[in-house]
Amino acid sequence: MNELLYQKAYEKALFWLENVVNETDKEEIKKILQNKEELIDAFYEDLEFGTGGLRGIIGIGSNRMNNYVVKMATQGLCNFIQKNFPNHSKKVAIAYDSRNKSKEFAFAAATVFAANDYDVYIFDDVKPTPMLSYAIRKYNCVTGIVITASHNPKEYNGYKAYGPDGGQFISPYDKNIIEEVKKIKSFSEIKSTYNANKIKIIPESFDDDYIAEIEKLIINQSLIKKHYNLKFVYTPLHGTGYKIMPKLLKKLGFQNIYLVNEQCIPDGNFSTVKSPNPEEKSALDMAINYAKEVDADVVLATDPDADRLGVAVKDIKSNYVLLNGNQTAAIITYYILENLKNKNLLKGNEFIVKTIVTSEILRKIAQNYNVEIYDVLTGFKYIAQLIRENEGKKKYICGGEESYGFLVGDYVRDKDAISTCAIIAEITCWAKEQNKTLFELLLEIYNKFGLYYETQISITKKGIEGQNEIKQIMNNFRSNPPIKIANEKVTCIKDFLTQKEENLLTKQTKEIALPKSDVIQFITEKETIISIRPSGTEPKIKFYIQLVNSLFNINEYYDKLQELMNKAEIIIKELKLA
């Protein structure tokens, strides 16, 4: 055990013991002081307010999520806002999800904002993260926060901060906020004069305003009227979508909405699932079983803060399969662009956005319709940035990332599972009109643009040693890059940390016009792409494998898919990921 770390943690714990006011918290600190390992984990550093805000294990300690850390972060945010947006209205919006302590943390932050003379608009019930983004814009707020840890395990909670446009803060603002938060060294620096008059509850009618915006996105309302009897099974996975999603689908005109009632109860322990992550098929087990009972057309699942959507559909063998985020994004992008073209609504100034680790099939689709496509770093805040920068010049159509996040339209500036669900429901009607399922529509897309297969390997490395291991892995790939991958020559290396793209055939390099990020990509002669990046929110390093093949005959889908899956296994072994 590192004695310096222990001593640092011990001194910080004593400071907290002297300064916290809650007797229960004092007793908890006393217990932690008796356990060296837990003491270091809880107090060896301050929970980092990163570029996406806070995220950590709930509990007492400077390295945990608790009221004190939340209040210090909020005071730092207030100080930042005062310096950078002195002429903006002093209004802030706050939302929170169903996680343990979320409401408590939200109202703790509200008291600090109010003490700093902000008018606070706060929901009195759990609400999806995209609705927080919409609230910031609707109430002309200078900032907003949402208390959530997205799909992390139940032990976690988090805090995300947003700017006046409804998108998360980007550089240099994100780094400036971090600096202001770091300056708060003592609880005494937190303004705490309670002012109840400054805190306003957002009315229930807000839901209707939000739904009205989603209704504007619908392209073919007539198809919904015709196929209103399609069957949808929905689960909020104990999260925030439990009220708004059924209300939205009914408002659109769908009549057969089957709710997984056991999972419609907001529950921070997520008691019916191993993980509330719609990327994992096991999270949808109850919903899929229900779908089999009622013969549902589509299964829909949202994560706890309802910004990411999981979709399960029947394949050509009538088995329910979970679409990955790339597939969902491809279906939506294809549908929207195809229908805008058919209605002569593409004017030539439209654009879509994807992240650098999202499937290249989106580029193929966009190019087919002569629509501009942008690549951005991982994180929806970069998509929001592009929307803001192009306002009044170009029209944003849609954008997304492989991790189940997507956004259609620009009234919200973060990924939005609620509106995405509405679009998927509409697309199901469009497919039905052609006597197709969503899966058959996906095969049609693969037939036109190529069969893309993506998989991801995440390796968890916890603690200080884990952080060092992740750094060493990244260093090794930079200093010893692979020459071949699955017997394919590596022809291009993109290093987003050095912002250099090197063509290994011509030996030419060019600048990558994106902010620095610890990501490296290897691209082969056959368009295989391997992307490697440390996670920004979890103690993991992620490997993204993207493969492509032609699909001239839909009947060959499973054979062609198996070829790509076998190839992925070879790559996983070559990179020693298994």
Query: Which is catalytic among the residues 98, 150, 359, 517?
Result: 150
358-379 CB burial, b ≥16 within 10 A, e <16: bbbbbebbbeebebebbbbbbb
For residue 18, the Cα-to-chain-centroid distance in whole angstroms is 38
Range list of β-strands (E), 101-170: 119-122, 143-147, 156-162
DSSP string, 374-426: EEE-SSHHHHHHHHHHHTTTSEEEEEEETTTEEEESSSSSS--HHHHHHHHHH
Residue 478 CB partners (closer than 8 Å, separation 6+): 495, 497, 520
Residues 93 and 413: their CA atoms lie apart, in Å, by 14
CB distance 166 to 412 below 8 Å: yes
Burial class (CB in 10 A: 0-12, 13-18, 19+), 224: buried
φ, ψ (nearest 5 deg) of residue 549 = -145, 165
Give the contacts of 124 (CB within 8 A, at least 6 positions apart): 201, 202
Instruction: Check if the beta carbon of residue 112 is closer than 8 Å to that of residue 181.
Output: no
- What's the token pair of residue 99? 């996680």
Q: Which two structure tokens, joined as six digits, stand for 146?
A: 């949402």
* Tokens 């998108």 found at: 167
Strands 500-503 and 508-511: antiparallel
In one letter, which amino acid is 150? S
**If we measure between CA atoms, which residue out of 380, 337, 389, 338 comes closest to residue 357?**
380
Give the Cα separation of 542 and 534 in Å (integer): 6
Distance CA 106, CA 158 (A): 10
If you search the block for the tokens 């990163």, which residue do you land on? Answer: 50
Residue written as token pair 């509106």: 419
The 10 Å Cβ neighbour count of residue 157 is 28
The CB density around residue 262, as the number of other CB atoms within 10 Å, is 13
- Written as six digits, the tokens of 213 are 């915006």
Spatial contact of 359 and 330, defined as CB atoms under 8 Å apart: yes
Q: Are 528 and 546 in contact (CB under 8 A)?
A: yes
Is 171 known to be catalytic?
no
Per-residue tokens: 312? 């399960």
CB 571 within 8 A of CB 485: yes
Which residues are known catalytic residues? 150
